[in-house]
Structure 1
Amino acid sequence: MLIVLSILVTLALFLLVVVVHELGHFLAARSVGVRVREF
């Protein structure tokens, strides 16, 4: 059970890192006036 929990936590953290990374792209684009249609 600990292995399954470890995998789920790792995936959740990876998802969080990807979302924060993409948010950086979004904010950078918005800061220079690029129209962003979806995030």
Structure 2
Amino acid sequence: MSETTLFSFGAVIFIIVFTGATLFGMASLKEYQDRTK
């Protein structure tokens, strides 16, 4: 496996994880705001 393949594979995984974390963070933040009101 070449470094370029490894790098692009890692970048794709990073984007997926980052997107998932952002969506989860926004959802839990919204839930927290609804509870504190």
Smaller-chain TM-score bracket: 0.7 to 0.9
Query: Unaligned stretches of 5+ in structure 1?
Result: 35-39
TM-score by length of structure 2 reads: 0.78
For the pair shown, the structure with the greater C-alpha radius of gyration is 2
Q: Which runs of 4+ in 1 moved over 3 A?
A: none
Higher helix residue share: 2
- Between 1 and 2, higher relative CO (CA 8 Å, sep ≥ 6) is seen in 1
Equivalent residue of 1:32, what SS? Answer: helix
TM-score by length of structure 1 reads: 0.75
2:5 maps to which residue? 3
Aligned-pair Cα RMSD in Å: 1.3
Query: Across the two proteins, how many residue pairs are aligned to each other?
Result: 34
